[in-house]
């Protein structure tokens, strides 16, 4: 516990039984979200653990279980906390217009989320308008065909 309290990624060198211990893993990911990479798969699918990791590091979502990154409800919660985590959502979710609109609607940083949606949605006017509604900078990621007359 002392090691992960000081340096979360030291979880990599812990015994496998410790990588399954939620208290130890929560301590590690709170110190450094990147420690999620070394947690047991069962805990990489635990939304509480993943949200704690993402709170420290946007890129920690890449270490979440595939089932969590493909689950709409879980991914919506993660992207609400950290919109840039959309980069690590499943490709299916990045292409799902209704899901993307939900993410953009609840996002405090639509610019961050929009840059990671599937290219096919970057030319969809409804999606682009939702993205630029809270951040005109999001237009930078829109398909170039939308900026032409």
Q: What is the mean pLDDT of residues 85-104?
A: 96
What are the tens digits of pLDDT across the range 115-149? 999 999 999 989 988 888 765 555 556 666 665 43
**Domain identity same for 78 and 145:** yes
**Domain identity same for 79 and 148:** yes
**Domain identity same for 77 and 145:** yes
**Domain identity same for 83 and 138:** yes
DSSP assignment, residue 64?
S
Average pLDDT, the chain: 90
Closest CA to 39 of 54, 52, 55, 24: 24
Helix (H) or strand (E) holding 123: none
pLDDT of 1 reads 80
Contacts with 94 (C-beta within 8 Å, 6 or more apart), sequence order = 86, 100, 116, 117, 118, 121
Residue 4 structural domain = 1-64
**Domain identity same for 76 and 56:** no
What are the tens digits of pLDDT across the range 125-134? 899 888 887 6
Overall pTM > 0.95: no
Task: Kindly report the backbone phi and psi dihedral angles of residue 82, in degrees, each rounded to the nearest multiple of 5, phi listed first.
Answer: -145, 95
pLDDT of 149 reads 37
From residue 135, alpha-carbon distances to 4, 85, 89 in Å are 38, 17, 21
**Domain identity same for 5 and 58:** yes
Residues 49 and 21: their CA atoms lie apart, in Å, by: 11
pLDDT of 47 reads 97
**Domain identity same for 59 and 89:** no
Residues 65 and 140: their CA atoms lie apart, in Å, by: 31
């Amino acid at each position: 516990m002392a090691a992960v309290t000081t340096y979360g990624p030291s979880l990599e060198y812990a015994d496998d039984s410790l990588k399954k211990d939620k208290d130890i893993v929560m301590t590690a990911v709170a110190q450094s979200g990147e420690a999620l990479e070394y947690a047991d798969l069962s805990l990489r699918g635990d939304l509480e653990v993943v949200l704690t990791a993402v709170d420290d590091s946007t890129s920690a979502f890449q270490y979440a279980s595939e089932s969590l990154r493909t689950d709409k409800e879980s991914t919506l919660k993660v992207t609400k906390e950290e919109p840039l985590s959309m980069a690590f959502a499943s490709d299916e979710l990045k292409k799902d217009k209704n899901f993307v609109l939900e993410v953009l609607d609840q996002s405090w940083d639509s610019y961050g989320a929009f840059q990671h949606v599937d290219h096919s949605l970057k030319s969809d006017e409804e999606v682009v308008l939702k993205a630029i509604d809270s951040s005109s900078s999001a237009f930078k990621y829109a398909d170039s065909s939308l900026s032409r007359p």
